[in-house]
Amino acid sequence: MKALARTLRSDSIDAERELWKYLRAHRMAGFKFRRQMVIEPYIVDFVCIEARLIVEADGGQHLEQLEADRTRTEFLESLGYKILRFWNHDILSDAHAVLEKIRTYLNDVPSPQPSPGGRGS
């Protein structure tokens, strides 16, 4: 499963690459995201463990697998994750709106960044 996740990372689609530019390296409100991470028995597109958030970039094939996606979502939610799904087209044509929805969710989660003057002050 880890080998497949590694392959998916190197062969990511345009929408995933576009979204990753904004999610990587703590760029999204200071939260750390990982991509193509295994959460058995699934591989999720992007996950922020601290915020318990999964972000999925969905292509047209998801219209044909609604039941499988529902089952997958229910399982991941049972583990305490919130799943935000975005169509690839929306990521590529209006990334700002997609990022704003992610940021809005994260605004309700305590920041993982230490407050200024935190330690030892």
Residue 95 sits in a domain whose CATH number is 3.40.960.10
Residue 114 lies in a domain: no
Is the bond into 114 cis (omega within 30 degrees of 0)? Answer: no
Residue 84 lies in a domain: yes
CB-neighbour burial class of residue 62 (10 A; exposed 0-12, middle 13-18, buried 19+): middle
Tens of pLDDT, residue by residue over 12-29, are: 679 999 999 999 999 998
Residue 120 lies in a domain: no
Q: Residue type at 21?
A: K
18: part of which helix (H) or strand (E)? helix 14-23
Tens of pLDDT, residue by residue over 47-96, are: 999 999 999 998 866 556 788 889 999 999 999 999 999 999 999 999 99
Measured in whole angstroms, the distance separating CA 37 from the mean position of its chain's CA atoms is 10
Report residue 109's pLDDT band, with 50, 70 and 90 as the boundaries.
Answer: confident
Q: What confidence score (pLDDT) does residue 59 get?
A: 84
Residue 115 lies in a domain: no
Report residue 118's pLDDT band, with 50, 70 and 90 as the boundaries.
Answer: very low
Residue 117 lies in a domain: no
CA–CA separation, 107 and 81 (whole Å): 16
Residue 63 lies in a domain: yes
Give me the number of domains the chain comprises: 1
Q: What confidence score (pLDDT) does residue 82 get?
A: 97
DSSP per residue, 44-95:
EEEEETTTTEEEEEE-GGGGG-HHHHHHHHHHHHHTT-EEEEEEHHHHHH-H
Number of residues in the chain? 121
Domain extent at residue 77: 2-107
* Sign of the dihedral through C-alpha 69, 71, 72, 76: positive
Residue 69 lies in a domain: yes
Residue 119 lies in a domain: no
